[in-house]
Structure 1
Amino acid sequence: MHARTRIALGAAGALAAAGILAGCGEAGSSGAEAPQAAATGAGCAPVAGDQLVVLEDDQKLQNTDNIVPAVNADAATPELIAALDKVSAALDTERLIQLNRAVDVDRQTPAVAAEEFAAANGLTDGIATGPGGELTVGAANFSESETLGELYRIVLTAAGYDVTVQQIGNRELYEPALESGEIQVVPEYAATMADFINNKIEGADATPISSPDLDETMSGLRRVGEQVGIVFGEPSAAQDQNAFAVTSEFAEQYGVRTLSELAEKCSGAATVLGGPPECPQRPKCQQGLEEVYDFRAGEFSSLDAGGPQTKTALTTGEISVGLVFSSDGELAAG
């Protein structure tokens, strides 16, 4: 999994993982920690396997972090927005997983993976030519963002622009550059960007404007974006957000495909939840599983944020369920 600085663990869907918080309870064996609340059932012991499956978030714990083009208002011509919307129309989460797999597993460059995707999906077909000129597409410092930036480069080039993709870093760096016009376009994540801009305007303790409802999230995002000179194209169906995965063998053995089924069948002492150290206290991780689904794990194992530690612990049968990112190239559809 590519390294990320964005993970929906904090309140309001703020995806930058902040300081490491102490886990709840006393440390157990093998890095496992005592559960936040008592689990009374037998639970579901880990089951090793080669393939990971994301459980459906059927009660909408996570917010709508759909990929959406963000554009400096002064650069936002109708032709530019229409070209970027071609990318949004072609993307869903499964296709995003395949793009990430091409880069992170098959080791293609983001540019090559984007060119192949664009050709296979006719992204440049029928694109209207805009006024032209130079554009810089900013990308965050993880491979998914770079690949999306290359897709934007392809369609904007077809629309008559001279386009450069520039990796800038995290949102704290590229969002001001987008506001000022130093860069003109960035691939963004709707819920995260909505709360980021809102917090910038209203302060860190602002009431969240992101929502599990995409229309509500986009309405809030467009409203705050207008205040800072950023407009947004159409959101794609593709999402990159917190998700919870099990092995295919676990899903088959226990008959679990959704988080509601996980809570119903697997709350109990044998179930081990794995995730980053701050997971037990965060509303989009263990705390949210308990509050929204009434899921009670028997143990919590402190690992990483959707990275190799968590995925290895799943495949080797050390944890029952683990926090991952929904567009990880190593995942299969649930």
Structure 2
Amino acid sequence: MFTAKKRGRLAVLGAVVIGATVALAGCSSSNPLSSGSTSGTSSKSGTIVIGSQQYYSDTIVAEAYAQALENAGFTVKRSFNIGQRNVYLPELASGKIDLIPDYSGNLLQYYDAKTTASSESDIESALPGVLPKGLKVLKAAPATDQDTYTVTKEFSTKNNITSLDQLKDYSGSLTVGANSEFQTRPYGIPGLKSDYGVTASLKAIADSGGPLTVAALKNGQVQLADIYSADPAIKANDFVSLKDPKNMILPQHIIPVADKKVNAKATAVIEKVNAALTQSELISLNSKSVNDKQSAAVIAKAFLKSAGILK
């Protein structure tokens, strides 16, 4: 959701590349659901430039924001599939984009790697104090798209492993398939060692838990994979996401980050969209991308109509 969870999120949860890019987490590869817009160079007065991570689920949410704002009379420019936080957050701070959906816990850890916040309410309280001047967060959605350490059912059953704290007793070597940022993220390779005493190596796979990561897990190239919790690939492949009893991975609710061009009227529109983004709804939206191969524009429009935001 890396950062991706996916999702940093940093920032998270098979499928297919059509049109632009696909994930999958938090954080990446290109997204099949991009509107086809290019990255913005500057945010013109009166136009709200909306960005998205290079992660298909984030693009769906960003497209929903865009359509809802357009419906409310705002002029919108899409600048989707920008990359991960080290790319899109500086663009947000510089005014190249004005709004992007992010993931709460990973966003906080990007600015404060040593944060002690653990609950969603603590995270949302801490974020205003660490964001660059001129940026703000809006109300988070009920839906979360967290990074996970996910294994195959076979690996879980054979080794009696259902939780991260049980990995220390595993006698074999462990490789995690994830974005390259996982090498340094607090909940990535360093966190496994410091929180759970587990030594693992990283196989960098730049698709935010998408089809390449899923394939690497299925064919045994990696034993664990960072697949975002709202990814339908987890259920489709009967994967097991390991429990995290020490809460190493923070909650990663979808949370919009915006600059001052997102005024009170625009904020109300965006927060109405977010209020409709429940966990089951997010999984359904992701499934329409991964399984039904629908575009972000089609998925977002149907979601907004069902939520009563579009007629």
**Taking structure 2 as the reference length, what is the TM-score of the superposition?**
0.52
Equivalent pair of 1:301/1:319 in contact (CA under 8 Å): no
Corresponding residue number in structure 2 for 1:178: 92
TM-fit CA distance, 1:318: 4.6
Corresponding residue number in structure 1 for 2:149: 244
Corresponding residue number in structure 1 for 2:33: 109
Equivalent pair of 1:240/1:325 in contact (CA under 8 Å): yes
Letter paired with 1:288: G
Letter paired with 1:320: Q
Instruction: Give the 5 Å matches for 1:253-268.
Output: 253-260=158-165, 262-263=166-167, 267-268=169-170
Equivalent pair of 1:279/1:285 in contact (CA under 8 Å): yes
- Select the residue among 170, 191, 200 that pairs with 2:105: 191
- Check 1:241–1:312 CA distance in 2 against 1; reply closer, same or farther (3 A cut): same
Query: Could you tell me how far apart the structure 2 residues matched to 1:322 and 1:153 are?
Result: 32
TM-fit CA distance, 1:231: 1.8
Query: Could you tell me how far apart the structure 2 residues matched to 1:170 and 1:248 are?
Result: 30
Letter paired with 1:150: E
Corresponding residue number in structure 2 for 1:304: 204
CA RMSD of aligned residues (A): 4.4
Q: What secondary structure is seen at the aligned counterpart in 2 of 1:183?
A: coil
Corresponding residue number in structure 1 for 2:234: 331
TM-fit CA distance, 1:315: 1.1
Instruction: Give the 5 Å matches for 1:117-156.
Output: 134-156=47-69
Matched residues, number: 214
Query: Could you tell me how far apart the structure 1 residues matched to 2:98 and 2:71 are?
Result: 17
Equivalent pair of 1:141/1:169 in contact (CA under 8 Å): yes
Query: Could you tell me how far apart the structure 2 residues matched to 1:244 and 1:289 are?
Result: 10
Corresponding residue number in structure 1 for 2:245: none
- Check 1:274–1:211 CA distance in 2 against 1; reply closer, same or farther (3 A cut): same
Query: Could you tell me how far apart the structure 1 residues matched to 2:201 and 2:211 are?
Result: 14
- Name structure 2 gaps, 5 residues minimum: 24-30, 37-45, 242-311
TM-fit CA distance, 1:269: 1.6
Q: Which has the larger radius of gyration?
A: 1
- Structure number with greater CO (CA < 8 Å, separation at least 6) is 1
Instruction: Give the 5 Å matches for 1:3-42.
Output: 6=3, 14=8
- Check 1:293–1:193 CA distance in 2 against 1; reply closer, same or farther (3 A cut): closer
Query: Could you tell me how far apart the structure 1 residues matched to 2:85 and 2:216 are?
Result: 30
Equivalent pair of 1:140/1:169 in contact (CA under 8 Å): yes
- Select the residue among 265, 269, 273 that pairs with 2:175: 273
TM-fit CA distance, 1:246: 0.8
Corresponding residue number in structure 1 for 2:43: none
Letter paired with 2:57: E
Q: What secondary structure is seen at the aligned counterpart in 1 of 2:195?
A: helix
Corresponding residue number in structure 1 for 2:192: 289
- Select the residue among 217, 222, 227 that pairs with 1:314: 217
Identity of aligned residues (%): 22
Establish whether residue 162 from structure 1 lines up as the match of residue 75 from structure 2: yes
- Check 1:191–1:99 CA distance in 2 against 1; reply closer, same or farther (3 A cut): farther
- Check 1:98–1:213 CA distance in 2 against 1; reply closer, same or farther (3 A cut): farther
Letter paired with 1:212: S
- Check 1:135–1:189 CA distance in 2 against 1; reply closer, same or farther (3 A cut): same
Query: Could you tell me how far apart the structure 2 residues matched to 1:284 and 1:108 are?
Result: 28
Pick which of 266-275 and 160-169 moved more: 266-275
Establish whether residue 235 from structure 1 lines up as the match of residue 140 from structure 2: yes
Equivalent pair of 1:191/1:210 in contact (CA under 8 Å): no
For residues 17-46 of structure 1, give each alpha carbon's deviation from its aligned partner in whole angstroms, at most 9, with x where no partner exists.
xxxxxxxxxxxxxxxxxxxxxxxxxxxxxx
- Check 1:247–1:100 CA distance in 2 against 1; reply closer, same or farther (3 A cut): same
Query: Could you tell me how far apart the structure 1 residues matched to 2:15 and 2:3 are?
Result: 19
Equivalent pair of 2:16/2:32 in contact (CA under 8 Å): no
Bigger strand share: 1
- Select the residue among 95, 99, 122 that pairs with 1:216: 122
Query: Could you tell me how far apart the structure 1 residues matched to 2:115 and 2:123 are?
Result: 7
Query: Could you tell me how far apart the structure 2 residues matched to 1:281 and 1:230 are?
Result: 25
Equivalent pair of 1:100/1:327 in contact (CA under 8 Å): no
Equivalent pair of 1:192/1:210 in contact (CA under 8 Å): no
For residues 57-110 of structure 1, give each alpha carbon's deviation from its aligned partner in whole angstroms, at most 9, with x where no partner exists.
xxxxxxxx6xxxxxxxxxxxxxxxxxxxxxxxxxxxxxx8599999738x9634
